[in-house]
Amino acid sequence: MPDFGPGQWLNTPRPLSREELRGQVVLVDFWDYTCINCIRTLPYLKAWHERYADLGLTIIGVHAPEFKFAQLGQQVRAGIDAFGLPYPILLDNDYQTWQAFANRAWPGKHLADAAGYIRFRRYGEGHYLATEQAIQALLRERDPNVVLPEPLPALREEDVPGAVCYRPTPELHAGYQGGGLFGGALGNPEGYVPNHAMAYVLPGPFDMRSGHFYLAGFWRAEAEAMVFAGQDGGRVVLPYEAVSVNAVLSPSSDPVELVLDIRPGPETPLIEVRQDDAPLTREAAGADVFFEDDGRAFVSVTRPRMVELVRNPGFEEHELELIIHAHGLALYAFSFTSCVAPGRSTLDPGDDFFMVQ
């Protein structure tokens, strides 16, 4: 196991090193607090910390930021507090630790034995049982007399063996930087005009397709985000296929405004959420949605974070619409989930899917 690079440490009174961790089984988790796949692994990491911290396991989160705002310690700290993470976390803003571990993706887990050798790696969601079995095997190597519990059951119904995972709309990054799936996802014919505000008009309904998002109103294209430059009523339309839809949003794209907690728009920036040209239903509402008395659905964005907008009962095809009521609000990315519990599949057997093992 390589040593950790420089960076701010959170949840610990002092930096940790490879040498002082010798004798412990060490699980290093590379993550980002706005990454949906990372977020979905956190309940398992917290449970493993609670189960095994006193039996010889040390978990260390290495936060490698996907967006520039996630380099700010105060924003990562807010995410740590929101998720209730108890273990030490290193801010790897310059990716030195990422490179030392030859990490390739978020989330990336590297498990080292008590002698300091990496014995197990896994990328992405899932592999929870295999990872816990590897933890237990290395704890038994460390102490043959250790008494260990049975591995955790699946913490979500869509993690149960036999669950069905379809191919969803790919992750979409909103800014002009990059290409492929991680840039150029704007579908308007006006395209990107870097760092200038311009008026966007929605194409006709038959010209909008999954794999792109579409804008109406005044927006400014930045490298990582599209920023609403109007005063009210901007629109984002997203055709998609998924179970849930998440968005990385911020009240501002300006790092100074974020550090000083200055908001260019309303004190509580609001976004109205609609689906298929109607208010989002409570049945399909994501965890961050709240409802007004008139039945309209909203989310508020007071700090940079990922919000869950939609959680459909199954894997479904819809058109999501966001109505922006906040000048300066920044849209960074959309992400999607696709797995449903056994017996809750909503598509034909011929559709593209795989089974959770």
Are residues 220 and 343 located together in one domain of the fold? yes
- Does 198 map to a domain? yes
**How far is residue 40 from each of residues 45, 83, 225, 271, 337, measured CA to CA in Å?**
10, 11, 24, 24, 10
Burial class (CB in 10 A: 0-12, 13-18, 19+), 174: buried
* Residue that is last in its domain, among 155, 182, 204: 155
Are residues 190 and 151 located together in one domain of the fold? no
Rounded CA-CA distance 62/95 in Å is: 9
* Residue that is last in its domain, among 138, 155, 172: 155
Summarised one tens digit per residue, pLDDT across range 317-336 is 999 999 999 999 999 999 99
Rounded CA-CA distance 202/189 in Å is: 9
* Residue that is last in its domain, among 155, 190, 218: 155
Summarised one tens digit per residue, pLDDT across range 53-89 is 999 999 999 999 999 999 999 999 999 999 999 999 9
- Does 133 map to a domain? yes
pLDDT at 343: 65
**How far is residue 21 from each of residues 1, 27, 68, 152, measured CA to CA in Å?**
10, 11, 30, 25
Domain of residue 240: give its range. Answer: 164-355
pTM score > 0.85 for this model? yes
Beta carbons of 302 and 251 less than 8 angstroms apart: yes
- Tokens, residue 221: 């294209």
Question: What CATH number does residue 16 fall under?
Answer: 3.40.30.10
Q: How many of the other CB atoms lie within 10 Å of CB of 254?
A: 16
| Tally of structural domains, the chain | 2
Question: What CATH number does residue 307 fall under?
Answer: 2.60.120.260
- Does 1 map to a domain? no
- Does 3 map to a domain? no
- Does 190 map to a domain? yes
Dihedral angle sign, alpha carbons of residues 187, 191, 192, 198: negative
